Structure 1
Amino acid sequence: MRLPLAPGCTLFALRLPGGTPAASSSPLDHFALRPPPAQPVVVAPAVQPVVVAPPVQPVVVPPLLRLLLRSLHREKGKTRQARPRSAGTAGNKNKQTAREASSPAGNETGSTTVEDLPADVLACALRRLDGPSLAAASCATAGLRALASDPDTWRALCLAQWPSLDTHQHSILGSAAISPQRLFADAFPFPSDDAAPAASSDSDQHLPGELISAVDVYHKGAPIFSRAVETSTSSSWFLTSPFRVDAVDCKNPVPAASISPAELELSWIVVDPRSGRAVNVSSRRAVAVDRHWYTGETLVRFAVVLGGCKFEATVTCSEEAGCLREVSLTVEDADGAAASGECSLRLLAAAMAGPRKGGEKEGEEAKRRYDEFVSSKRGRKESKARREVLVDLCCSAVSAVAVLSFLASVVLR
């Protein structure tokens, strides 16, 4: 008889102590099933999640920061060279150099920069920049600042921008009190109108005893007229008379053939030779182009508004004769009256000491302020005219009442 067994089971017989199998009614009672041996339980380790690291982004160092790091690296190198060296210092320096070379910042500071060029080459390159670019380059590093502060560089830049500075019998830039860099910083940007009213009301303000006007007229960017005019301002006649400076007199016109008045540009720099300060009182571009009502000549106006007054430079062009007949500077107050020499000097001194404004839109700002000044002056004139009409009506009414009263008194007698 076959007994079905589970896989891995073993049959064995049960014997009595006497050695014979125990009596049983069933033959299966003499056998027992032996379970299979227990297998060891193997526990699988927990699966750890795989974390993918993000890619490392390269460190981008701006050029200006790179130049600063380069300068700091050089300063550190000079400091280390100044210290006394020993046997152990060389090894530490090599380790430090290796660490700097392995770091990103060390790679950037170790690269070649513009300061690695010879000083003569850098100075030649700086001379080819314009004024704003040269001023921006001087703010990069101490080395570039030292090269950009060269007086000869700024003198050449000022002469290229304003040729009239070298037409004076004694060169304006040759004075020890006038720094070329300071002159460019004063004359290139536009004067601000914020500090002029407060400063102009100061009675103890120092007034210039002499003014030098550097006048340059350009046509399509090329200079066609340059002249420097010296004006003495210490006399009582000048202080009490209306302010006016003539660079070109109508008796001695300047030839200027085939020019378009609308394309003219003007720079009028007023310099105080005693203090060395300057201010440009021209809007550079024309704010108005008119026709003279009698002669028919073209009047090109350049103006800035300072302290509630208008500094207006007028270029009178005769297209038929092909010449500049007159170039003059005048000052008007808010009512349209000519300002005196003393009032004009106070406004000029306040503008020289005040802040400046730069930017490409300053020409449009000067044109806007000029239009506001003209409209305000027109409104003042209309209001004054209405007041005068009311006063005339009142005077006429009083006169009529007096005449009627006199006639009534004569009739009723």
Structure 2
Amino acid sequence: MDLDRWCPNECAISTVHGDVIRAQILTRLDGPSLACAACASSRLRSIVASDGASLWTEATRAAWPSTSSPPLTDLIPSFPKGHLSFFSDSHPSLLPVTTSEPALHPADPPSGLVSAVDLFYEDRLLLSQVVDTETHSAWFGSSPFRIDALGLKESIRTDFDGGRTGACGDLVRGMRLSWILIDREGRRAARVSSHEPVEVQRQWSTGDVRVKFAMTVGVTTEGEGTAQCVVVVTCREGEGVREVSLQVEDVEGTVMSGRESLGILTGAMRGERGRGKARAEEERRRFEEFERRKRERKESRRRREGRVDVVFVAVGVMCYVLFWGLLCCR
């Protein structure tokens, strides 16, 4: 709908100076609202187009403070349409890559990944970190995939009281995370974490609280999950946030190798993105479906191993009886 056609002449958007529109309206909008504004009026579309680089830079840095740090300050402008391309890649949810194999092995995997990590608690920024990961080494390909946004001896102080009743629920309601992976060579990006927690677990033996953010990134041709990205935020009373790490797990719950994970992630970054406002509900639904299948696989394996154990015990008993039977016959 073109707003100029439906407004009286005295209130038409064309009568407002472009600098006023930009300074008082467009700079106050987040990314999705800015995109909607550009589609609402030919006048707004013209203003956004003429000053799009600056507006999208501001919207991107407001959504993800880590993007204002190097090397992202140089990397993002090199995307096909700069910050607009980065935003359109990173804001929507990923649609899982469909494959008949557990992992993809692209012909041209990226030689490096850059992670932009932003962690919020009750609208306060707790962590804004950029992590550069080299992926071309043999060690990376054969080792379990893991990227840490916090060092071993680092921690972030918070107001979270791990010993207080209902504190786990407060974590679910208050914590938000964005973990964006960037293909440094391919100039593509993808958000690989759910925006809200999908699970909170308390470890009574250590006093830690593990907040899990997850996103399914691989499915079979039948639509069943084969891999998911999992970001774990570990908190401890009196110490705050002690760990923020990303892993890629298969449906057995095993952490995938760097080579397998890189294949899955490369396919996801180059794949399609989801649309719609109910992204949190969809991400949680996919996580619950993935966990259901994981439990079914574990139960099936347990039953299979139980049957094998019964067969071995039966064979052992038969051998024992046969042995003593032969001795008695002598």
- Secondary structure of the residue aligned to 2:190 is strand
- Structure 2 residue corresponding to 1:116, chosen from 15, 23, 26: 15
1:287 partner letter = V
CA drift of 1:146 comes to 3.8
1:119 partner letter = G
Structure with higher RCO (Cα < 8 A, 6+ apart): 2
Distance 1:228 1:386 in 2: 45
Which deviates more, 110-119 or 332-341? 110-119
Match of 2:93 in 1: 190
- Structure 2 residue corresponding to 1:305, chosen from 216, 220, 233: 216
Distance 1:207 1:174 in 2: 19
Cα deviations by residue, 1:133-164 (Å, 9 ceiling, x for unpaired): 11112224554334324111101111111111
Distance 1:199 1:376 in 2: 16
Change (3 A) 1:230 1:376: same
Change (3 A) 1:143 1:343: farther
Match of 2:137 in 1: 235
- Secondary structure of the residue aligned to 1:356 is coil
Cα deviations by residue, 1:24-80 (Å, 9 ceiling, x for unpaired): xxxxxxxxxxxxxxxxxxxxxxxxxxxxxxxxxxxxxxxx2453x69xxxxxxxxxx
State yes or no: 1:251 paired with 2:251.
no
Cα deviations by residue, 1:359-405 (Å, 9 ceiling, x for unpaired): 33210121122122212211211111111111011111112222322
Change (3 A) 1:66 1:198: farther
Distance 1:143 1:205 in 2: 45
Which deviates more, 155-164 or 109-118? 109-118
Q: In the alignment, is the contact (CA less than 8 A) between 2:106 and 2:263 conserved in 1? A: no
Change (3 A) 1:143 1:278: same
Q: Which runs of 5+ in 1 are unaligned?
A: 1-63, 71-107
- Structure 1 residue corresponding to 2:270, chosen from 348, 353, 356: 353
Distance 2:258 2:231 in 1: 16
Distance 2:111 2:137 in 1: 9
2:318 partner letter = V
- Structure 2 residue corresponding to 1:214, chosen from 116, 121, 146: 116
CA RMSD between the two structures: 2.4
Change (3 A) 1:143 1:206: farther
Match of 1:145 in 2: 45
Q: In the alignment, is the contact (CA less than 8 A) between 1:199 and 1:350 conserved in 2? A: no
Aligned residues: 310
Alignment of 1:100-115 (within 5 A): 113-115=12-14
- Structure 2 residue corresponding to 1:278, chosen from 164, 185, 189: 189
2:230 partner letter = E
CA drift of 1:318 comes to 1.5
Distance 2:260 2:95 in 1: 18
Change (3 A) 1:156 1:222: same
CA drift of 1:409 comes to 2.4
TM-score (norm 2): 0.86
1:261 partner letter = L
State yes or no: 1:181 paired with 2:98.
no
Distance 1:113 1:242 in 2: 59
Match of 2:242 in 1: 325
Q: In the alignment, is the contact (CA less than 8 A) between 1:213 and 1:230 conserved in 2? A: yes
Match of 2:254 in 1: 337
CA drift of 1:111 comes to 6.6
Distance 2:272 2:14 in 1: 33
CA drift of 1:410 comes to 2.8
Change (3 A) 1:265 1:201: closer
Match of 1:17 in 2: none
Change (3 A) 1:137 1:173: farther
Cα deviations by residue, 1:323-374 (Å, 9 ceiling, x for unpaired): 2111111111011111111221122122212222233321012112212221
Which deviates more, 299-308 or 120-129? 120-129
Distance 1:253 1:152 in 2: 34
TM-score (norm 1): 0.69
